[in-house]
Chain A
Amino acid sequence: MSLLAEKTQRPGLAPHTDSVATFVPDQSRAERTRSYAVADFPMPTGREEDWRFTPVDRIRPLLKDEATGLCLDWDESLPAGVRLGTMSVADWQAAGAPAPADRAAAIAAAHSGGVGVIDIPNDAELTEPVRIRLSGGDGQLVHGHLMIRAGRFSKATVVLTHDGLADYSEVLTITASDGAHLTVVSLQEWDDRSIHLGQHDVVVGRDAQVKHIAVTLGGAIVRLNTNATYAGPGGSFEAYGVYFADAGQHLEHRLFVDHAVPHCTSNVEYKGALQGDSARTVWVGDVLIRAAAEGTDTYELNRNLLLTDGARADSIPNLEIETGEIAGAGHASATGRFDDQQLFYLMARGIPEAEARRLVVRGFFAAVVSRIGVPEVIGHLMSAIDAELEASVAVAS
């Protein structure tokens, strides 16, 4: 039990010995299991650190270790030069893709039947985004497996849209080779009965810049785990997220930025709005700066805006630092109610209530939305937020 031995070395931290102990809390984020083998991930009970907010009972079908052979409908638009191919799961593993980090991802990887691979050639500078739309139909249970490879010094944007009705569990591997500039947008616009579990792994190459954007508006349960690692110094990882939870929705975003390489940067900014009874969001932002990662500069921020009573937002930033030789490390988290004083101020200038609410919520999201940098996504997102708000005003009145 080297793990326990290591823990007992820390003063004042004896291992848990309660009779009902179900698990030993991690002493470091680095200790979590990562494996291609489903057997390495026992069925979660909902008490584990990484499952404790998730309605585990409602996602059981996606934790079952068997293939369904079903797919989502694909609709793709590939700019010239971009290739869409396939790869066996064995080859994907052999390529050194980051391993699954929970049972759902391990099952998705094991039963996907193959990896869909989007290749952006070296030096390609795409003027149009790669667009892939994945649609559910009759609520089929699907294991998905995708890989996006951005070649050296390429510049590209990939927009993945998820919609329709499905129970979907996926693994997405994103690799950016040296000097690549890659933006990946994952839009969750599911039917409000859909379930989506995802693990997105980003490997940032030397001097590469990767922006990962998650926009989650639809789905009964969406749980996205986004992990970033660096393959060489000088890499930059930015993760921006926008979510809007209505009554009955559980939207969970977990990020883990693992700085093990010197002179890399990361910036995480997620903002969410919640409205309606039982609207629920979870944001967990883990950053680990390992001893070797000197010169790291990292910041993570989460803000939640509760528009109505009865909604609940959990927000947990974790920062673990193993070297003092860093450029900067910080985090911020705040969850607040809709501010009636703001509403009064705007209305006192003649602006009707519905429009005033819209202004405040748009303003709340403005900073993070402006950082997305993909005009078609921004326009689409702002109108989607307006539509969510209009629905809420209709409910309230």
Chain B
Amino acid sequence: MSTLEIRDLHVAITADDVQKEILRGVTLTINSGETHAIMGPNGSGKSTLAYSIAGHPKYTVTSGTINLDGEDVLAMSVDERARAGLFLAMQYPVEVPGVTVSNFLRTAKTAIDGEAPKLRTWVKDVKEAMGNLRMDPVFAERGVNEGFSGGEKKRHEILQLELLKPRFAVLDETDSGLDVDALRIVSEGVNRAQEASDMGVLLITHYTRILRYIKPDFVHVFVDGVIAEEGGPELADRLEDEGYDRFLTAAV
């Protein structure tokens, strides 16, 4: 079993030479097989947490720790974190023109595993995973995210999740911009990946909609860079009914 442990994390961004603190002390422990939903209004720091775990250079960790089975994640480069078993499904995946999806997936798989995947099984795995996500096989020969619709980009993120088999996946508003069918397909992919490898999931979302398909074990409400409330799935139901208003008024 693995554990991702975030302790008193403070994160800032620098804009126009002014450092602004976004996360103001976040503590969170995720074990293998668990699903934690992070919910909260816009600007509460949800995405900052996601990018800080992945190591995006725009975010500066000013204090606190992130450990993966006792190893210091903050000391790792972005690619080292991925190879250690962390995965970030991005809200806005970028286009990498001219790099085909199949080349990208094989290169990433080789980097993560430390050896090239066996060609025969790999081709089959990719085909099967794409089929499960209702992705047309022609996507394999297109440039990474090049000209993909919003929904296609999200499926492509989950395709990577299923193939790279991380220990912990952070899903940054994977549900945003998806219609009901796509939301269901993408959610099934996440559930499959979790069943297959007992992965821990940090599901970041603004809406409760995705929680109909991916059942959280824990729900954390982010407000203004800190966890304002924590609980089980029932907390999500309450948010569904009440929205974030009571947190926002409390913050004022």
Name the interface residues of B78-99: CB closer than 8 Å to any CB of A.
Answer: 78-79, 81-83, 87-88, 90, 93-99
- Minimum CB–CB distance from B87 to chain A (whole Å) comes to 8
- Minimum CB–CB distance from B24 to chain A (whole Å) comes to 24
- Minimum CB–CB distance from B92 to chain A (whole Å) comes to 9
Are B82 and A350 neighbours in the complex by a CB distance under 8 Å?
Answer: yes
A359-B88 contact given A347-B77, A350-B164, A352-B79, CB 8 Å threshold: no
Closest to A345 in B: B94
- Contact residues on A (Cβ < 8 Å of other chain), bracket: 20 to 34
Whole-angstrom CA separation of A161 from B54 in the bound complex: 46
A340-B79 contact given A352-B111, A362-B99, CB 8 Å threshold: no
A339-B98 contact given A347-B78, A347-B79, A353-B79, CB 8 Å threshold: no
Name the interface residues of B86-144: CB closer than 8 Å to any CB of A.
Answer: 87-88, 90, 93-99, 103-104, 107-108, 111-112, 143-144
Flag the segment in A91-99, A104-112, A124-132, A364-372 that touches B.
A364-372
Are B96 and A363 neighbours in the complex by a CB distance under 8 Å?
Answer: yes
> Which of B90, B96, B107, B112 touches A342 (beta carbons < 8 Å)?
B96
Are B108 and A349 neighbours in the complex by a CB distance under 8 Å?
Answer: yes
Whole-angstrom CA separation of A366 from B83 in the bound complex: 27
Residues of A within 8 A of B83 (CB): 350
Whole-angstrom CA separation of A341 from B227 in the bound complex: 28
Are A366 and B98 neighbours in the complex by a CB distance under 8 Å?
Answer: yes
Name the interface residues of A312-343: CB closer than 8 Å to any CB of B.
Answer: 339-342
Residues of A within 8 A of B35 (CB): none
Are B99 and A363 neighbours in the complex by a CB distance under 8 Å?
Answer: yes
Are A350 and B112 neighbours in the complex by a CB distance under 8 Å?
Answer: yes
Contact flags A158-172 to B (C-beta < 8 A → 1, else 0): 000000000000000
Residues of B within 8 A of A339 (CB): 94
> Which of B56, B96, B112 touches A360 (beta carbons < 8 Å)?
B96
Residues of A within 8 A of B112 (CB): 349-350
Residues of A within 8 A of B160 (CB): 349
Closest to A351 in B: B111
Besides A344-B56, A362-B98, A363-B96, 7 more A-B contacts (Cβ < 8 Å) are A347-B79, A349-B111, A351-B107, A359-B104, A363-B143, A363-B144, A365-B98
Q: Nearest 10 A-B pairs (CB), nearest first?
A: A363-B98, A366-B98, A350-B82, A363-B99, A349-B108, A350-B111, A347-B78, A350-B112, A347-B79, A341-B94
**A to B CB contacts below 8 Å, 17 in the list:** A339-B94, A342-B96, A344-B78, A345-B90, A346-B108, A347-B79, A350-B82, A353-B79, A359-B96, A359-B99, A360-B96, A362-B98, A363-B96, A363-B97, A363-B98, A364-B97, A366-B98
